[in-house]
Chains A and B, each alone.
Chain A
């Protein structure tokens, strides 16, 4: 079985500061890892993914994520936070050799303070 842990329910960052949203995963095969963002009253939007290759993945809106196999982590990062980045962020995993469905973490509320 695959699983995702997002250890922080909420992360508070001042505008302009770097941000990190943490994610660790468990999967039996090769991990496919994803970050999605949800704005209030909206569906989830794809941000970025790691399938293979470079451990540092760049995505939409200036976000990036670093895959660390030894620590089974896939933390989401951004060098300089914007107030508009405030949203609910979900990490997700699927087994590369398994079924298509994604397993999501419980989500982390990111709050960027002006």
Chain B
């Protein structure tokens, strides 16, 4: 158990809809990362937050947004969903107690867009 919790584990929705994925990092970790894993694109970095502030941005679409709250949990909002957004979305966290680049991953939220 990595200590990172993601909800929901599975989500099925229709095109055009909006969903929110939630992540609770390991206790004390200030950094939260979001990744998208799909068969054709592999594991793509979306965005990183550190202590509530956006720290780095990767291949995140404009239809997607994220935030990190004062209690350090994070949410990834996906809107105007398309079939191609179907993927496994991972949250990871890291903190001062871990070495650089050592990320702790949650078990992911599997999104299916029909």
Contact = CB atoms under 8 A, between A and B. Distances in A.
Contact of B90 (A43, A46, A51): A43
A101 interface: yes
A100 B102 contact: no
Contacts of B106: 43
B24 interface: no
| Among A34, A99, A102, A107: residue with most chain B CB under 10 A | A102
Interface string B38-60: 00001101001010000110100
B99 A43 contact: no
Chain B's interface size range is 20 to 34
B70 interface: no
Contacts of A43: 2, 4, 90, 92, 105-108
Q: How large is the interface on A (under 10, 10 to 19, 20 to 34, 35 or more residues)?
A: 20 to 34
Given A100-B48, A101-B58, A49 B42 contact: no
A100 B99 contact: no
Contacts of A32: 100-101
6 tightest A-B contacts by CB? Answer: A43-B105, A106-B42, A99-B56, A104-B43, A44-B105, A43-B107
Given A34-B101, A100-B31, 16 more contacts: A32-B100, A32-B101, A43-B2, A43-B90, A43-B107, A51-B101, A92-B101, A94-B100, A94-B101, A99-B55, A100-B48, A100-B94, A101-B48, A104-B42, A105-B42, A106-B43
19 contacts: A32-B101, A36-B105, A43-B90, A44-B92, A49-B101, A92-B101, A99-B48, A99-B55, A99-B56, A100-B31, A100-B48, A100-B94, A101-B45, A101-B56, A102-B45, A102-B101, A102-B103, A106-B42, A107-B42
